[in-house]
Chains A and B, each alone.
Chain A
């Protein structure tokens, strides 16, 4: 067990706070150690620190990072038993060459399995496969009293669905058994289309998403007028062996090759280079270079994790950091989506490429974010004057439309906003108080949003 005192922040690098960071094997966290760590200001688990805001910080308290743990693949069952501290990067390097893929992948490989469950993350296949939590068969959780419990959705449904999406506030997830997706190759067959405006984008996604396992659109949030909401829509599926060799015969020798390399890292001390002018130029270039329509092979990294190729890309926003604002509104509130895109485009705030996606059904997690509807994700430099006002305006539009905000991205919400978006919050609070009566698990986000 290693301990040090330092300031921690989320991936957005906003609102840092100081805590005691403890790197430990799950076995070391017995009752005595927990009692000691919980004083004076509680404990929260932290994975790779990729949540954007403050859910993996605990000002003045303890933050626990689990050491890696095992990766045990059962190829016959198509499952993997994995330590919660293992990252999807490590997991993919192990299972892809053996013919499996994670059931759900977010936009980065650098999240842990524990974080993936606690945030009940989603990916480009949510409309087809649901959230990460939906593919977890069992897990072990360390409870506030120091005991460990092995749970499944059938054995402990209340604790299970309070933990999936529960932001680490019911206990520390120690390990999990996850159902994997069998794949024949490590490539995806991807259809890339340039779409001139928001209306045709929505129409294409509504009518065509169900034909593909993966679908996502990158929207230019700076374009206005006739170009409002122009986008590049990418949809794809894992390439079969036959599709791979038909496109690229040489790849047939090693169809499951997977060895992603990082290209370069952004240095420390970079000022914010993503101002409105730069973002406008980049978006223009990126839109123009996209083919009007093209079907081709892409690597896992190229298709799922393009930003992982640039290390520490969050530094591009400078010392002030950035905000990732993600919300979902029901399908019938498509007018709100239009208004929000127009409001942001006209606001003068420079949102780098935004991501638009259609969600399928809910997972059952009481605080799980995905619910049927349109979800839009914006990246905004945080230190720009007036951003608080814009976010407040968007918050109202989202809630008026019956939408909600993603806790793993949230960095600005209020208790009222979360209460309005999550109708089952009280149910969750009741379970939390039952399994953690003294409020031992606590994060800066939980303090900010009264999640205790």
Chain B
């Protein structure tokens, strides 16, 4: 159960090797946190001993975002082993900018980032509704708010995931379960090493802090940094010629 100051006891991270996912768990550490489950593609490659989240017991479970068939069973198994899920973080996802010449790679990206988000998101939501409480935190991106020439495939997967998550949140209203959609700008992490930084870049710690604050305030959408809500509110309506010039 979450307590009154929004400290969870059990946290599941889908995409448990994600820097942002782990940073959020670190920010959720409190005397209440007892169990952290990292759902990762290959549990053998994760050195649990090297991780530490307060006094929480850490475990791993095999999870393939692209394999929609297994998601429902995976959630059922985790609940069977660890009980109610207080916070579930959907942190998996791939970067990549496949172009016109690589439709197969684009489809793979879409399968992980969008299709995987839908099937795992529904499996989680179903469980949260049954247990009558809990929050699904979905890591979306501002890249989906208005897609750019330089990474429109990725942006489109995030747009789909974001639309799915916000709609899912609406459908769960009154069920005790909640969805919080997080829209970070450019995040400096191992996934973006070597990439040119965009304006308003943040660190993974900033995302984690914003997520914890969002949970505390019961937000349904969180922008990181907060100013991006205003920036993208304007950029959505910028003329195409301006938008293309900004994409460098």
Contact = CB atoms under 8 A, between A and B. Distances in A.
B31 interface: yes
B132 A59 contact: yes
Nearest to A10: B4
B244 interface: no
Contact of A18 (B2, B5, B84, B176): B176
A388 interface: yes
B contact face: mostly helix, strand, loop, or mixed:
loop
Contacts of A447: 1, 84
A108 interface: no
Given A320-B217, A388-B5, A388-B6, 17 more contacts: A7-B174, A7-B175, A15-B2, A19-B132, A53-B4, A54-B4, A58-B132, A59-B133, A323-B5, A385-B216, A388-B7, A392-B30, A417-B31, A444-B133, A445-B1, A448-B1, A448-B9
Contacts of A253: none
Interface in B73-101: 84
Contact of A391 (B5, B132, B216): B5
B84 A411 contact: no
Interface string A376-406: 0000001101011001100100000000000
A17 B216 contact: no
Contact of A412 (B7, B129, B131, B174): B7
A319 interface: yes
A445 B130 CA distance: 18
Contacts of A414: 31-32
Interface in B157-198: 174-177
A14 B4 contact: yes
A412 B3 contact: yes
Interface string A1-26: 00001110000101111110000000
B132 A382 contact: no
A41 interface: yes
A41 B132 contact: yes
B133 A383 contact: no
Interface in A294-320: 319-320
Q: Shortest 7 CB-CB distances between A and B: which pairs?
A: A18-B176, A411-B4, A60-B132, A59-B132, A14-B4, A448-B1, A18-B132
B31 A323 contact: no
B133 A18 contact: yes
Contacts of A254: none
B4 A12 contact: yes
B218 A18 contact: no
B133 A17 contact: yes
A54 B1 contact: yes
Interface of A: 5-7, 12, 14-19, 40-41, 53-54, 58-61, 319-321, 323, 382-383, 385, 387-388, 391-392, 395, 411-414, 416-417, 444-445, 447-448
Interface in B189-248: 213, 216-218
A382 B217 CA distance: 9
Contacts of A17: 1, 132-133, 176
A53 B4 CA distance: 7
Please tell me the size bucket of the interface on B: 20 to 34
A177 to B, nearest CB: 35
Contact of B133 (A60, A323, A392): A60
A19 B31 CA distance: 27
A156 to B, nearest CB: 31
B3 A411 contact: yes
Interface in B1-22: 1-7, 9
A61 B130 CA distance: 9
B174 A18 contact: yes
A320 B218 contact: yes
Contact of A6 (B32, B129, B174): B174
A61 B4 contact: no
A36 B6 CA distance: 32
16 contacts: A14-B5, A15-B1, A16-B176, A17-B1, A17-B133, A18-B129, A18-B132, A18-B175, A59-B176, A60-B131, A382-B4, A382-B5, A385-B216, A412-B5, A444-B133, A448-B9
A411 B5 CA distance: 8
A15 B4 contact: yes
Contacts of B175: 7, 18
A5 B175 CA distance: 8
Given A53-B4, A319-B218, A7 B176 contact: yes
A52 B217 CA distance: 18
A391 B174 CA distance: 29
Nearest to B83: A447
B29 to A, nearest CB: 10
Nearest to A7: B176
A9 B174 CA distance: 12
A412 B32 CA distance: 8
Contacts of B6: 15, 388
Nearest to A60: B132
Contacts of A60: 130-133, 176
A444 B84 CA distance: 11
A19 B133 CA distance: 10
Nearest to B178: A16
B131 A41 contact: yes
